[in-house]
A and B are shown apart, each in its own frame.
Chain A
Amino acid sequence: MLVVGLMSDFIQRESTNHMNTEIFGIGGMFAASVLLAMPLGRYISNVYSGERTLLDPLFNPLERIFYTISRIDPHIEMGWKQHMQAMLVINLLWFLMSMLILMTQGALPLNPDGNPSMSADLAFNTSVSFLVNCDLQHYAGESGVSYLSQFWLMFLQFVSAATGMAAVVVLFRAFRDKTAQTLGNFYVYLVKSCTRILLPLSLILALVLVFEGTPMTFAGKDTITTLQGDTVEVSRGPAAAFVAIKHVGTNGGGFFGANSAHPLENPSYLSNMVEMVGQMIIPLAMIFAFGHFIRRRKLSWVIFGVMTLGFMVLTIPNVLMEMRGNPAIAQMGVDSALGAMEGKEVRIGAAASGFWSIVTTAISTGSVNAMHDSSMPLSGMNQLLAMMVNAFYGGCGVGLLNFFIYIILAVFISGLMVGRTPEFLGKKVEAQEMKIAMFVALLHPFLILVATGLATAFPAQGASTVSNPGFHGFSEILYEYTSSAANNGSGFEGLGDNTLWWNITTGIVLILSRFLPIIGPVAIAGLMAQKKYIPEGEGTLKTDTGTFGMMIFTVIVIIAALSFFPALALGPIAEYFSMI
């Protein structure tokens, strides 16, 4: 109903020229991402299956040096448990190094602006959040970190994205062969993700950004004199490289506090488009890579279709609502022909900001080019829903892992509905797999609801730091934990979030919601890989059909709607109905 109303309203005003341009811009960004993702998917599949690729002459010798130094034998095959062990150990190592660097950065080199070392709780929160590909930032880049720390955080942005990608490749392997005990080598997947995929893409993106005006320097703050004659200190640094991997790796941690709303981080409409394409491209390509890798391209298209449907259902109303403007402001006599421009950048506009807000929440990037706190209430709800589902494309690698859990649940229910023990890609889904799938599916609402519940139950810690009272304040708390649990990293903001409470609680949510949802699906895939392969027969429920796609979509909607409806009713929905 709401959508229909918005559509008719939109059509009436469609004659306005700038709107056409804005919509065209969004369409262009999306189309470019999909078109680039298809060949990239094939390339990614080739990289992981060890086939010859273009960059072999450059990186093969380099990787051999890595392996020799770290004493890794790339030919050792690992089972799913060894994979996960390797992942946890190396992540723990990175965490410890991160704590060390951030808590001593004040005394370390590459600190031209003389920024201080971090407190233990902030360093904990920052380390964890960059490690888990979330990049929730309770500091501002200009004053909170040194250039050395920025470099360290950039390193984490590479390896955290690569961790997710390596994990999903374990799942790819599990379904490629009929029966498999070993699923390749984790370190090989990790290194190749960095060198063959993340590095080249980041390099291209960083170059475009540099040409558009993003700084790339080791010099400290610059001083400029404005037309009025005031002097202003402008922070700069090696930003272009940072911003590139921030998007390509779906990390989202900004170099500057204002993230991609900052004019140096996202200088123009073109840079905005490139950053948008940059963050969508790997999650999209991973879907196609999956199909190539296991030689079932049709399945890729079904997954892509379901994800795109969900993405569109969230995006279209958002763009329309943001373009229509805020009725409360219109009542004050302010012209809102440009849309709801509160908290948005004029060079980007309402439509592209609304579109970005769903891309960044759906894809787990968490970078922002506008204040989500100022979005229309139901736009805010869609941003929340995008993170509550966390599988409409989703983050690098982890998006598919999350989606896999929904597939398993859909396979189970629909298998029963056609009178056959459920199976996916020729492997039976039994009690053991259901236990893990249900645990992971349960974890997400558990973390979000329980953490939000605690923050509201102890107002001295949680609720008192909220800047808005009532429903909107509730949305702010709900958003912070949803963003943490989805490893997203965007903030609704409006929270005084650099406190012991927020640093520790979000940190814990981050760790739990990162590693368990990776281990769960990989474990299921590992267990299924060991099972006997059942050839497809006429009674087999095919999983690469539109019907099954609808089933997955229904499962996703039902699980998200059923778990979060009461919370959403008290937050954005109550706010919306109070406003109209």
Chain B
Amino acid sequence: MSTNSSLFQQEMVQQALKQSFVKLNPKVLYRNPVMFTVEVGTLIMAMVCVWILAGERSQGSFGYNFTVCIILLLTLLFGNFAEAIAEARGKAQANSLRKTREETPARLQNGQIISSAALKKDDVFICVSGDIIPSDGEIVQGLATIDESAITGESAPVIREAGGDKSSVTGGTRVLSDKIVVRVTTQPGESFLDKMIALVEGASRQKTPNEIALTILLAGFTLVFIIVTVTLKPFADYANVSITIASFIALFVCLIPTTIGGLLSAIGIAGMDRALRANVITKSGKAVETAGDIDVLLLDKTGTITIGNRKATRLYTADGVEMDTLTRAAVLSSMADETPEGKSVIELAAVDPSAYGVSNPVYVKFTAETRSSGIDFDGIRIRKGATDTIRSLVLAAGHTFPKEVEGRVHLIAEHGGTPLVVSQNEVVLGVIELQDIVKPGIQERFERLRKMGIKTVMVTGDNPLTAKYIAKKAGVDDFIAEAKPEDKMNYIKKEQSEGRLVAMMGDGTNDAPALAQADVGVAMNSGTQAAKEAGNMVDLDNDPTKLIEVVEIGKQLLMTRGTLTTFSIANDVAKYFAIIPALFITAVPSLQALNIMNLHSPQSAILSAVLFNAIIIPLLIPLALKGVAYKPIGASALLRRNLLLFGLGGILVPFIGIKIIDMLVSLWM
């Protein structure tokens, strides 16, 4: 995948330039009240120019008025360009993902080969090693290793198989081995990527609640300045000052927050684009924004906090039980256990299960509900599972749960391990110790989250003691131990009822309800279709720590809006000091004292102010697209920092900018 991070590629710029003009259409522009009023101002100036050509003398020279008109047009085009370039970048990113899956042949079950574009939902196709998967779908039969590097950039192949939580395949990825039968899960043109592209293109882009509130603020300021400008006419008449239309329009356009008005939608699109660059497909702009507000983060322990899976490290026998007996029982109970823990038991024992020669075995599969697995044969029932499960099994049969095993279980748990108790015919044989390893660097990430004000919650199937040990070691704030799927759901509901926003990641069908309930639900791309439908983001990398990045992207999005609004409004101070003396100076010479920038002439002052107002938009496009850097230093400190940078900066920068432009402009005047 191309990860060209240069902001402006030639092709995109050309496309965006064209769009800048297309977007001048008032029907499109009226959605943005600030820029719409600028367009009205531009039209009025155009009419003034025609009026002067027709012989009007009171409005100043044609050249001056025409220049003002052109600068206003530039202001509009710059604003449009910002939006267009953001759209172009987002689209290019999405297209590069989409390109990989276009025009791939698909082999249907009846042997017919059709184009991937002709695939409809619920069609079933077959892929063998070497094939490119033509469409998103779900494996209905088989197992295959798949190279997903085209989407994720990760070169290690992954295994996908029918049934379970890893049954999903993505169009554009390559099958490396074996054969799978896949059912198409989306209509053509309705995949997540298609939806994302539509969002970026603006066709289905809706303003987020926060964007609406900000637009109200900006529209309010625009109205204030309409009043200020219109009432200035009778005030000036009263004071016998004559002010040209160009000056009125210039004053108005400089005062309204055109900078943020021009960049607002670009900032929103860039947020989604940044998410996409982090390989996260968002289903709405709102989801990214909400991510910035998250208070609680639910993270699965396995894979997120600890490296991969737990491994069996040691076996402990109950009193009076031979080690061989325990080993045999442990191995047999793990024969059908496809979980990594189960496999690691066999690895630890280093015995081939078939060597025991068991006939007619009935396997009891591990489920999240029973939390045990095992095998039945020849009237022997071997079970391996969580302490509670086995204990109740043993007690129910009227046997006792040995004290020394109880002690061992506690000891293992205290050391962060997970005990699995093994029983045969409801008699405890011993304990298997499983150990977890916390990912290096994860503590720092949690510390960063804590500084952002986000509470981290570890979700694990472990018993409370183990969970506590790992939670402490990793530095999470809370944990849900012995978690069943509904526990996650309940925890989310509880936090939400206390007014907190919750984010979680998940992949299984079990997770779907919780993903839907969470304010931000990120489904892994490898997860089931149900999970992907339920969440509001899909992570192409299947990286459980991705949520942290998503949160930062959300915060950046809001901050970029806030800081540029502040900057835009702070700019007005300097513009006033440029324009007000220029308006009144001929009639009220004493107001020269307000011309603190010592600008060359009234006309040069107005031109410089309007020109600064226009130029600042393209200058800020890179910031709008990249976003203001988020620093987890606490809200008050962050506010101080941004107020200093963008508030004070917003007051000072235009003084310098307008003065420089004035010096240049006065060379011609």
Q: Which residues of A contact B (CB under 8 A)?
A: 409, 412-421, 426, 429-431, 434-435, 438-439, 441-442, 445-446, 449-450, 452-454, 456-457, 459, 463, 470-471, 474, 532-535, 537-542, 545, 547-548, 550-551, 554, 558, 561-563, 565-567, 569-570, 573-574, 577-578
B572 at the interface (CB under 8 A from A): yes
Assembly CA distance A412 to B223 (angstroms): 19
Q: A457 to chain B: which residues have CB within 8 Å?
A: 234, 237
B153 at the interface (CB under 8 A from A): no
Q: Which B-chain residue is minimally distant from A419 (CB atoms)?
A: B555
Q: Is the CB of A538 within 8 A of B634?
A: yes
Q: Is the CB of B635 within 8 A of A420?
A: yes
Smallest CB–CB gap between A456 and chain B, Å? 4
B40 at the interface (CB under 8 A from A): no
Q: B638 to chain A: which residues have CB within 8 Å?
A: 417-419
B504 at the interface (CB under 8 A from A): no
Pairs across A and B, CB under 8 Å, 17 listed: A413-B565, A416-B561, A416-B565, A417-B566, A419-B554, A419-B562, A420-B558, A453-B233, A535-B500, A539-B452, A554-B643, A561-B573, A566-B576, A567-B235, A569-B584, A569-B591, A570-B584
Smallest CB–CB gap between A529 and chain B, Å? 14
B2 at the interface (CB under 8 A from A): no
Known: A453-B231, A534-B500, A541-B636. A565 touches B576 (CB 8 A): yes
B66-74, B214-222, B597-605: which one contacts chain A?
Answer: B214-222
Q: Is the CB of A534 within 8 A of B499?
A: yes
Known: A419-B558, A419-B559, A547-B636. A470 touches B239 (CB 8 A): yes
Q: Is the CB of A533 within 8 A of B499?
A: yes
Assembly CA distance A538 to B584 (angstroms): 50
Q: B623 to chain A: which residues have CB within 8 Å?
A: none
Q: B232 to chain A: which residues have CB within 8 Å?
A: 566-567
Contact with A along B233-265 (1 / 0, CB 8 A): 111111101000000000100010000000000
Q: Which A-chain residue is minimally distant from B583 (CB atoms)?
A: A566
Most buried by B among A430, A453, A474: A453
Q: Which A-chain residue is minimally distant from B563 (CB atoms)?
A: A417
CB within 8 A of A566: which of B220, B556, B580? B580
CB within 8 A of A452: which of B223, B235, B561? B235
B527 at the interface (CB under 8 A from A): no
Q: Is the CB of B498 within 8 A of A562?
A: no
Q: Is the CB of A416 within 8 A of B590?
A: no
Assembly CA distance A71 to B225 (angstroms): 49
Smallest CB–CB gap between A45 and chain B, Å? 26
Q: Which B-chain residue is minimally distant from A179 (CB atoms)?
A: B499
Smallest CB–CB gap between A327 and chain B, Å? 14
B451 at the interface (CB under 8 A from A): yes
B213 at the interface (CB under 8 A from A): yes
Q: B640 to chain A: which residues have CB within 8 Å?
A: 547
Q: A550 to chain B: which residues have CB within 8 Å?
A: 643
Known: A417-B559, A539-B453. A547 touches B227 (CB 8 A): no
Q: Which B-chain residue is minimally distant from A574 (CB atoms)?
A: B588
Q: Is the CB of B210 within 8 A of A421?
A: yes
Q: A430 to chain B: which residues have CB within 8 Å?
A: 209, 213
Assembly CA distance A540 to B451 (angstroms): 11
Most buried by A among B220, B225, B241, B455: B220
The 7 A-B pairs with the shortest beta carbon distances in the complex, nearest first, are A539-B453, A416-B562, A419-B555, A438-B220, A538-B453, A453-B231, A417-B562
Q: B452 to chain A: which residues have CB within 8 Å?
A: 538-539
CB within 8 A of B572: which of A413, A456, A562, A567? A562
Assembly CA distance A453 to B234 (angstroms): 5
Smallest CB–CB gap between B401 and chain A, Å? 42
Main secondary structure of the interface of B (DSSP, over half): helix
B358 at the interface (CB under 8 A from A): no
Smallest CB–CB gap between A546 and chain B, Å? 9
Q: B217 to chain A: which residues have CB within 8 Å?
A: 409, 412-413, 434, 438
Size category of the B interface is 35 or more
Q: Is the CB of B580 within 8 A of A563?
A: no
Most buried by A among B232, B556, B557: B232
Beyond the given A419-B554, A535-B498, could you list 4 further A-B residue pairs with CB under 8 A, ordered by the A residue number?
Answer: A441-B220, A537-B455, A541-B635, A561-B573
Q: Which A-chain residue is minimally distant from B552 (CB atoms)?
A: A419
B230 at the interface (CB under 8 A from A): yes
Q: Is the CB of B453 within 8 A of A417?
A: no
B285 at the interface (CB under 8 A from A): no
B224 at the interface (CB under 8 A from A): yes
Q: Which B-chain residue is minimally distant from A554 (CB atoms)?
A: B647
Known: A438-B217, A441-B220, A569-B591. A414 touches B555 (CB 8 A): no
Q: Is the CB of A540 within 8 A of B235?
A: no
Q: Is the CB of A416 within 8 A of B227?
A: no
B427 at the interface (CB under 8 A from A): no
Smallest CB–CB gap between B206 and chain A, Å? 13
Q: Is the CB of B590 within 8 A of A574?
A: yes
Q: A534 to chain B: which residues have CB within 8 Å?
A: 295, 499-500
Smallest CB–CB gap between B646 and chain A, Å? 8
Contact with A along B498-509 (1 / 0, CB 8 A): 111000000000
Q: Is the CB of B212 within 8 A of A540?
A: no
Assembly CA distance A127 to B566 (angstroms): 43
Q: B559 to chain A: which residues have CB within 8 Å?
A: 416-419
Known: A413-B565, A420-B292, A535-B499. A456 touches B237 (CB 8 A): yes
Q: B239 to chain A: which residues have CB within 8 Å?
A: 470-471, 474, 570, 574
Q: Which A-chain residue is minimally distant from B648 (CB atoms)?
A: A554
Assembly CA distance A474 to B289 (angstroms): 48
Assembly CA distance A533 to B289 (angstroms): 20
Q: Is the CB of B591 within 8 A of A438?
A: no
Smallest CB–CB gap between B166 and chain A, Å? 35
Q: A548 to chain B: which residues have CB within 8 Å?
A: 636, 639
Q: Is the CB of B499 within 8 A of A532?
A: yes
Q: Which A-chain residue is minimally distant from B555 (CB atoms)?
A: A419
Most buried by B among A417, A426, A450, A542: A417
Smallest CB–CB gap between B179 and chain A, Å? 49
Q: Which B-chain residue is minimally distant from A531 (CB atoms)?
A: B499
Assembly CA distance A421 to B569 (angstroms): 20
Q: Which A-chain residue is minimally distant from B576 (CB atoms)?
A: A565
B594 at the interface (CB under 8 A from A): yes
Assembly CA distance A442 to B226 (angstroms): 11
Smallest CB–CB gap between B359 and chain A, Å? 60
Q: Is the CB of A538 within 8 A of B580?
A: no
B86 at the interface (CB under 8 A from A): no
Q: A570 to chain B: which residues have CB within 8 Å?
A: 235-236, 238-239, 241, 584, 588
Most buried by A among B233, B237, B251, B640: B640
Assembly CA distance A577 to B537 (angstroms): 62
Smallest CB–CB gap between A332 and chain B, Å? 21
Most buried by B among A412, A418, A459, A574: A418
